[in-house]
């Protein structure tokens, strides 16, 4: 039905009506005092969300832009970068670092698994000459639905002395992530995920250690250069014309987020993923990530029944029930489908999704007890 | 009055209601067939606007991002770049080129003037060894309200053999700019100007000559790398998550632009600036750019009366009449104010602006015949 589509992909995620309407207001001048007041609130609220005392820069770009900003402001040609790869977005760090001339080494695991902290510890212990200057890693891997044990990994990196560069694109807001307490050096995120606004803004925060290294970076580019953003943040301004309407939307969304409370939001995400995972098991489907301790609470990857294809499931969900879920990426295409429960999602959405998935599978001939998934979800949601 | 502010700055510019409302729709998935269809239309319509057969890339970024994309995909460390500087945005090309290691030489003129084509011809004739590989230039300089004779300048550059890199941020749509016919090699623009949508998207088109040079560029970065965008344009896709809602807005705006017609729009801009300039003269104010042949038809820079300050004019216009005009930038701050007549502006807006400026000056004690500015504007608008 027209205008009825509900997105359950890992991003863009659903956007609250009040955010959409504030975004639709006529743009205001980006050098006006009104806009400066909005920036002051936004910059201050972002520190609360990132749980940091460092500045948080806002780039008008995709999340990938903030990833580039992390690398281009730190890495010199020939610098050794260790990339922890558990999926496509971990791979992206390695690609960006290579594009900037880094000497990239990877620790990779089969997709669907997390980095074993012992493997990282072993590799870093071997690096007695401290050649590894940077370690890139992904908190929540969108392509597989796996969450790394970020706290432990960053502690190991900190003990070695390298700079940790963390992709928090799909994790900030949705799951506990304490930048300062966990000793994260550089953290990036994107607007179209837990922040509940459309894509177009990306966030980056770097601590003093990272800024010290940045001073010796020979080519930090121009558009993403930290120095310009540092100066602007302190003046409640932006270096270049920002996506004004998205900032207005962000202001509204951040107020909503802080009103609901970070911990409440994170518990909601946890509960929703547990309910969804229980339902998936109840209706005789297999989870791509069986281990609850590493399963993402933002994206759940699901294997189709042997005799039903991912495209059939996705098109039936969309055409009959107006729910969009994501396919797998690259090698996982048509092998899994991914359901996002990220951002502006309520209990009703989970029930609607589970029952629509049941209806879809029933129509496509899957063998299970209709209603069993909803029952499993209800038990968790009403706890 | 709340919600009554009318922007007459050089950007963001006013946005049509239908564009704002389309932008406020729930975001759709950026890998969906619906979005791919929007991209197909957008990419095809942008070629008509740029008057080129080359692809036009759309970056989720400020216009400055597209400027960086032009430099970072072409210039190697040590390459000689000649920057033609007639204001702050011409200066920005030089800064970006330096940030990427170029050997930058400038031809500068006092602000308020245009580049004399003879000066460029002389310098390029001296370059017998063809050391100058790139020439950066600004079509319409937003900081001063001066328009360069782009066609002539690009012809001179083409005869020398260097690659021309043109900032069309405030000129595309608003004034004649024929990329292919004028032999422009690289052209960039931004969304919040003649395109009538909010800031957040930037455009870049490069011809085959530029792509040949790009092949030898050693470090083209990642986020702005032409190769990724080239591949995506041909697949009606984008390499990274784009600002989906701004693309939807762009689709609507491009349809409006092509329906009105580029030539009609350009004539409208010309008529509006002539009407405004006639009014300014009639009310005893001085134009910063006296010479009609180089005056911008998108931004008009005005000197305040000797005994009235720019801040007083700007605040009275804003507080009493809900019109926002821009101050001068850097050295020109408080020396001039700038009125944008760029994008979604009708004859009524010009009359409102002229009469509000009259009322402002009347209140602030300027000596002139009230109504004389409106009379001068009416004569031109009704021709």
Token pair, residue A85, equals 């790869």
Nearest to A199 among B64, B99, B243 (CB): B243
CB contact under 8 A, A99 and B14: no
Whole-angstrom CA distances from A224 to A1, A55, B65, B244, B332 are: 41, 15, 9, 21, 27
Nearest CA in chain A to B63: A241
> Per this entry, what is the length of chain A?
383
CATH 3.90.1150.10 domain extents, chain A: 262-381
CB contact under 8 A, B225 and A99: yes
Token pair, residue A84, equals 């922890």
Taking CB atoms and an 8 Å cutoff, what residues of chain A touch B326?
A: 29, 31
Nearest CA in chain B to A23: B24
Summary mean pLDDT of chain A: 97
Reported as a single tens digit per residue, the pLDDT across A230-245 is 999 999 999 999 999 9
Distance CA(A333)–CA(A248), nearest Å, equals: 36
Nearest to B99 among A65, A198, A221 (CB): A221
Predicted-complex ipTM score:
0.96
What pLDDT is attached to residue B226?
98
Q: For the residues A252-267, what does the mean pLDDT come to?
A: 98
| Stretch (H or E) spanning B349 | helix B347-363
Q: For the residues B241-261, what does the mean pLDDT come to?
A: 98
The single-letter DSSP state of residue B330 is G
Nearest to A222 among B95, B198, B200 (CB): B95
Taking CB atoms and an 8 Å cutoff, what residues of chain B touch A224?
A: 223
CB contact under 8 A, B198 and A244: yes
Nearest to B7 among A29, A72, A100 (CB): A29
Burial tier of B331 (Cβ tally within 10 Å: 0-12, 13-18, 19+): exposed
CB contact under 8 A, A60 and B65: yes
CB contact under 8 A, A245 and B220: no
Distance CA(B103)–CA(B82), nearest Å, equals: 9
Distance CA(B202)–CA(B196), nearest Å, equals: 13
Chosen from A62, A170, A253 to mutate, greatest number of chain B CBs within 10 A: A62
Distance CA(B263)–CA(B275), nearest Å, equals: 18
Q: Is A252 helix (H, G, I), strand (E, B) or coil?
A: helix
Nearest to A29 among B9, B25, B65 (CB): B9
| Stretch (H or E) spanning A88 | helix A88-99
CB contact under 8 A, B200 and A11: no
Summary mean pLDDT of chain B: 97
DSSP3 helix / strand / coil % (chain B, rounded to 5): 45, 15, 40
The pair phi, psi for residue A44, each rounded to 5°, is -70, -40
Cα–Cα nearest to A53, from A235, A231, A206, A253: A206
Taking CB atoms and an 8 Å cutoff, what residues of chain B touch A95?
A: 222
Distance CA(B162)–CA(B173), nearest Å, equals: 26
Nearest to B12 among A224, A225, A244 (CB): A244
Min CA distance, B122 vs chain A (Å)? 31
Q: For the residues B263-291, what does the mean pLDDT come to?
A: 98
- Is A262-381 a CATH 3.90.1150.10 domain? yes
What pLDDT is attached to residue A250?
98
Token pair, residue A116, equals 């074993």
Q: Percent of chain B scored above 70 by pLDDT?
A: 100
Taking CB atoms and an 8 Å cutoff, what residues of chain B touch A167?
A: none
Token pair, residue A319, equals 């055409």
Cβ pair B54, B44 in contact under 8 A: no
Q: Which three-class secondary structure string do you get for A15-69?
A: CCHHHHHHHCCCCCCCCCHHHHHHHHHHHHHHHHHHCCCCCEEEEECCHHHHHHH
Other C-beta atoms lying within 10 Å of the C-beta of residue A380: 18
Taking CB atoms and an 8 Å cutoff, what residues of chain A touch B65?
A: 60-61, 223, 240
Cβ pair B142, B167 in contact under 8 A: no
Q: Which residues contact B160 (CB under 8 A, 6 or more apart)?
A: B124, B125, B127, B130, B132
What pLDDT is attached to residue B255?
98
Min CA distance, A15 vs chain B (Å)? 7
What pLDDT is attached to residue A224?
98
Given pLDDT bands bounded at 50, 70 and 90, which one contains residue B251? very high
Distance CA(B374)–CA(B8), nearest Å, equals: 17
Taking CB atoms and an 8 Å cutoff, what residues of chain A touch B314?
A: none
CB contact under 8 A, B199 and A30: yes
First-residue to last-residue Cα distance in chain B = 34
Min CA distance, A182 vs chain B (Å)? 28
Place of tokens 């071997």: A126
Token pair, residue B375, equals 């009379």
Min CA distance, A281 vs chain B (Å)? 27
Reported as a single tens digit per residue, the pLDDT across B165-189 is 999 999 999 999 999 999 999 999 9
Place of tokens 């401290």: A130
Distance CA(B1)–CA(B371), nearest Å, equals: 24
What pLDDT is attached to residue B261?
98
Bond prior to A12 in cis (omega within 30° of 0): yes
Cβ pair A8, A341 in contact under 8 A: yes
What pLDDT is attached to residue A96?
98
- The whole-model pTM stands at 0.97
Region of residue B343 (left: phi > 0; alpha: psi -120 to 50; beta: else): left
Reported as a single tens digit per residue, the pLDDT across B197-220 is 999 999 999 999 999 999 999 999
Cα–Cα nearest to A80, from A144, A22, A129: A129
What pLDDT is attached to residue A373?
98
Taking CB atoms and an 8 Å cutoff, what residues of chain A touch B245?
A: 23, 198-200
Place of tokens 């009125």: B339
Chosen from A21, A60, A228 to mutate, greatest number of chain B CBs within 10 A: A60
Min CA distance, A192 vs chain B (Å)? 9
Reported as a single tens digit per residue, the pLDDT across B235-250 is 999 999 999 999 999 9
Nearest CA in chain A to B221: A99
Cβ pair B65, A60 in contact under 8 A: yes
Bond prior to A68 in cis (omega within 30° of 0): no
CB contact under 8 A, B199 and A244: yes
Taking CB atoms and an 8 Å cutoff, what residues of chain A touch B237?
A: none
CB contact under 8 A, A15 and B32: no
Q: Is A107 helix (H, G, I), strand (E, B) or coil?
A: strand
Angle in degrees, 0-180, between the axes of helices A372-381 and A347-363, rounded to the nearest 10: 170
Min CA distance, B223 vs chain A (Å)? 6
Cβ pair B85, B94 in contact under 8 A: yes
Nearest to A68 among B62, B100, B221 (CB): B221
Place of tokens 């997390």: A114
- CATH classification code of B261-381: 3.90.1150.10
CATH 3.90.1150.10 domain extents, chain B: 261-381
Reported as a single tens digit per residue, the pLDDT across B3-58 is 999 999 999 999 999 999 999 999 999 999 999 999 999 999 999 999 999 999 99
Reported as a single tens digit per residue, the pLDDT across B283-325 is 999 999 999 999 999 999 999 999 999 999 999 999 999 999 9
Nearest to B240 among A62, A72, A241 (CB): A62
Taking CB atoms and an 8 Å cutoff, what residues of chain A touch B3?
A: 25-26
Reported as a single tens digit per residue, the pLDDT across A168-213 is 999 999 999 999 999 999 999 999 999 999 999 999 999 999 999 9
Cβ pair B175, B263 in contact under 8 A: no
DSSP per-residue letters across B87-150: SHHHHHHHHHHHHTT-EEEEEE--BTB---HHHHHHHHHH-TT--EEEEEEESEETTTTEE--H
Burial tier of A376 (Cβ tally within 10 Å: 0-12, 13-18, 19+): buried
CB contact under 8 A, B199 and A242: yes
Distance CA(B336)–CA(B309), nearest Å, equals: 9
CA A284 to chain centre: 28
Q: Please give the angle made by the CA atoms of A66, B88 and B14, to the nearest 5 degrees.
A: 70
| Stretch (H or E) spanning A164 | strand A163-167
Reported as a single tens digit per residue, the pLDDT across B75-130 is 999 999 999 999 999 999 999 999 999 999 999 999 999 999 999 999 999 999 99
Strand arrangement of the beta sheet that strand B337-340 belongs to: B6-8, B323-327, B337-340, B299-303, B286-287
Best CATH choice for the domain B17-259 from the list 3.30.470.10, 1.20.58.190, 3.30.70.2500, 3.40.640.10? 3.40.640.10
Q: Percent of chain B scored above 90 by pLDDT?
A: 100
What pLDDT is attached to residue A256?
98
Other C-beta atoms lying within 10 Å of the C-beta of residue B235: 11
| Stretch (H or E) spanning B8 | strand B6-8
Cα–Cα nearest to A260, from A187, A325, A174: A174
CATH 3.40.640.10 domain extents, chain B: 17-259
Q: Is A151 helix (H, G, I), strand (E, B) or coil?
A: helix
Nearest to B243 among A14, A221, A243 (CB): A243
């Amino acid at each position: 039905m027209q205008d009825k589509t509900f997105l359950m992909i890992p991003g863009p995620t659903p956007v609250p009506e009040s955010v959409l309407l504030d975004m639709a207001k006529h743009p205001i001048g980006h050098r006006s005092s009104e806009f400066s007041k909005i920036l002051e609130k936004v910059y201050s609220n972002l520190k609360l969300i990132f749980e940091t005392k460092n500045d948080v820069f806002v780039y008008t770009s995709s999340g990938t832009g903030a990833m580039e900003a992390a690398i281009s402001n730190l890495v010199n040609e020939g610098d050794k970068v260790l990339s922890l790869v558990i999926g496509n977005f971990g791979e992206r760090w390695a690609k960006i670092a290579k594009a900037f001339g880094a000497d990239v080494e990877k620790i990779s695991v089969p997709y669907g698994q997390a980095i074993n902290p012992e493997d990282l510890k072993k590799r870093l212990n071997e690096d007695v000459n401290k050649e590894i200057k940077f370690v890139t890693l992904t908190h929540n891997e969108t392509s597989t639905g796996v969450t790394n044990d970020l706290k432990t990994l960053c502690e190991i990196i900190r003990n070695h002395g390298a700079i940790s560069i963390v992709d928090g694109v799909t994790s900030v807001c949705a799951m506990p992530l304490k930048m300062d307490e966990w000793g994260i050096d550089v953290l990036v995120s994107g607007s179209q995920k837990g922040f509940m606004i459309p894509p177009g803004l990306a966030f980056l925060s770097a601590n003093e250690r990272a800024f010290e290294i940045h001073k010796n970076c020979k080519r930090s580019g121009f558009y993403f250069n930290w120095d310009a953003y540092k100066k602007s943040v302190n003046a409640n301004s932006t270096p270049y014309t920002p996506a004004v309407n998205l900032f207005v939307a962000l202001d509204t969304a951040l107020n909503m987020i802080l009103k609901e409370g970070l911990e409440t939001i994170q518990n909601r995400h946890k509960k929703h993923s547990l309910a969804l995972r229980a339902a998936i098991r109840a209706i005789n489907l297999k989870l791509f990530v069986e281990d609850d301790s590493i399963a993402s609470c933002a994206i759940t990857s699901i294997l189709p029944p042997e005799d039903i294809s991912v495209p059939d499931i996705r098109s039936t969900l969309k055409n009959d029930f107006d729910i969009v879920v994501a396919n797998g990426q690259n090698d996982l295409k048509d092998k899994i489908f991914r359901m996002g429960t990220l951002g502006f999602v309520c209990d009703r959405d989970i029930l609607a999704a589970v029952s629509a998935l049941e209806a879809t599978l029933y129509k496509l001939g899957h063998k299970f007890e209709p209603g069993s998934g909803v029952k499993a979800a209800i038990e968790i949601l009403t706890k």
